[in-house]
């Protein structure tokens, strides 16, 4: 085929560039551990979550260094998250397990890359780690019906020992006052 020399060079550069892009992604996955949601293999019956781990959603300690939060994303709130914030410990492996009893929702922790889809019948498992105590906003970023624009919540990251003690005393609920003011920032 008749290709100009410059274009041949460009094909080579392009391929190197593309491989470089892929290498960046691999670096991110391997060195930083940043990846995305996978297949948890779990399915649930969306129309009756009452006998599943989502029957009483909330957080609990799975082990010393692992805190698991079951969240139900439904029209038009996160349970927990909307009425009272989700409380998670800092400097701990935190796993969010999400499902929906109705339609597809999104779970986006604003300002971070913790961003996943919640599909009825499926269980989304997203693991992360919060470095320091702070408050994050959570929005549903997938259209889910007439009240989609109201679907929001908060995640409050507290010092690890604080939550551990509260869980032991059974006072974990008091760490999460009902929906507070938005953290400092702008109104979009």
Partner 1 sequence: MRRGPTRRGFLRAGATTAAALAAGAAGTGVAAGQSADYGGWFTSDSKGGEVKNYDGTTVDKTGQDTVTVEVGAQGNGGTYAYAPPAVRVSPGTEVVFEWTSNTHNIVVEDQPSGANWEGVSEIKNSGYTYSYTFETAGVYKYYCDPHLGLGMKGAVVVGGGSGGGGGSPEWGDWFTSSGKGGEVKNYDGTTVDKTGQSDVTVEVGADGNGGTYAYAPPALKVDPGTTVHFEWTSNTHNIVVEDQPGGANWEGVSEIKNSGYTYSYTFETSGTYLYYCDPHLGLGMKAGIFVTGASGGSGAAAGGGGGLLPDLNWWNAAWIVGPSAVAVPTIAAYVLWDSWRAGDVSLDWLLEGETPPETVEAPQYEPERRIEHDDYDPWGTASLIAVYTAILVVAWILLYFVEFLGRGPHILG
Partner 2 sequence: MAFVDDHPLEAKVARSSIAVAIIAVAVGGLLGLLQAWFRTGFLRPFSAVDYYAILTAHGVLMALVFTTFFTVGLFTWGVTRSLDRGFHDRRFTWAWFALMVLGTALAFVSVLGNLVGWIPLHGAVLYTFYAPLEASPTFYLGLAGLVVGSWGAGVDYLWSLYAWRKENPGERIPLQTFMSVSTMLLWFLCSAGVAVEVVVFLVPWSLGWIPRVNPLLTRTLFWYFGHAVVYFWLLPAYFIWYTLLPKFSGGRLVSDSIARVVFLLFLLLSTPVGVHHQYGDPGISQGLKFVQMTSTFFIVLPSLLTAFTTVASMEHGARQRGGTGRFGWLRALPWENPAFSGCALAGIMFAAAGFGGMVNAGLNVNAMVHNTLWVPGHFHLTVGTAVALSFMAVSYWLLPQLTGKRLRFRTLAAVQPYLWFVGMVFMSNAMHREGLAGVPRRTSVPQYSQVAFNLPITGFDAVHLQIVAGAAMLFVALLCFLVVVTATWFGRRGEAPLAVNGHVPEPLSGPDAGPRILDNFKLWVAVAVVLIVIAYGIPLASIIQHGLFAPGSAPLPT
Does the protein bind partner 1 through residue 34 (CB under 8 A)? Answer: yes
Q: Name 105's bridge partners.
A: 118
Both structure tokens of 76: 């038009």
The minimum distance between CB 55 and partner 2, in angstroms, equals: 17
Within residues 130-169, the interface with partner 1 by CB under 8 A covers 130-131, 145-147, 150
Q: What one-character-per-residue DSSP string does 100-120 give?
A: -SSS-EEEEETTSS-EEEE-T
171 binds, among partner 2, partner 1, none (CB under 5 to 8 A by kind): none
Rounded Cα distance, 56 and 137, in Å? 22
Options 134, 149, 165, 174; binder of partner 2; rule CB under 8 A: 149
Rounded Cα distance, 179 and 108, in Å? 17
137 binds, among partner 2, partner 1, none (CB under 5 to 8 A by kind): partner 2
Within residues 79-118, the interface with partner 1 by CB under 8 A covers 82-83, 93, 101-102, 109, 111-116
DSSP 122: B
- Among 83, 57, 73, which Cα is nearest to 180's? 83
Within residues 106-145, the interface with partner 2 by CB under 8 A covers 106, 108, 110-125, 137-145
Options 16, 34, 62, 168; binder of partner 2; rule CB under 8 A: 34
CB atoms within 10 A of CB 95: 16
- Among 136, 84, 132, which Cα is nearest to 107's? 136
Residues that bind partner 1 (CB under 8 A): 4, 6-7, 9-10, 13, 17, 21, 24, 28-29, 32-37, 47, 74-77, 82-83, 93, 101-102, 109, 111-116, 126-131, 145-147, 150
């Amino acid at each position: 085929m008749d290709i100009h020399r410059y274009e041949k060079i460009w094909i080579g550069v392009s391929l190197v560039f593309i491989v470089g892009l892929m290498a960046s992604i691999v670096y991110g996955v391997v060195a930083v551990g940043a990846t995305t949601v996978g297949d948890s293999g779990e399915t649930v019956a969306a129309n009756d979550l009452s006998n599943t781990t989502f029957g009483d959603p909330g957080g609990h300690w799975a082990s010393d260094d692992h805190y698991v939060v079951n969240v139900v994303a439904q029209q038009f709130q996160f349970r927990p998250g909307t009425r009272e914030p989700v409380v998670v410990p800092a400097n701990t492996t935190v796993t969010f397990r999400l499902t929906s009893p109705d339609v597809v929702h999104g779970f986006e922790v604003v300002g971070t890359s913790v961003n996943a889809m919640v599909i009825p019948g499926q269980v989304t498992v997203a693991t992360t780690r919060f470095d320091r105590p702070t408050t994050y906003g959570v929005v549903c970023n997938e259209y889910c019906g007439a009240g989609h624009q109201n679907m929001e919540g908060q995640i409050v990251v507290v010092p690890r020992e604080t939550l551990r003690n509260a869980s032991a005393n059974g006072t974990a609920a008091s760490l999460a006052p009902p929906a507070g003011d938005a953290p400092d920032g702008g109104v979009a």
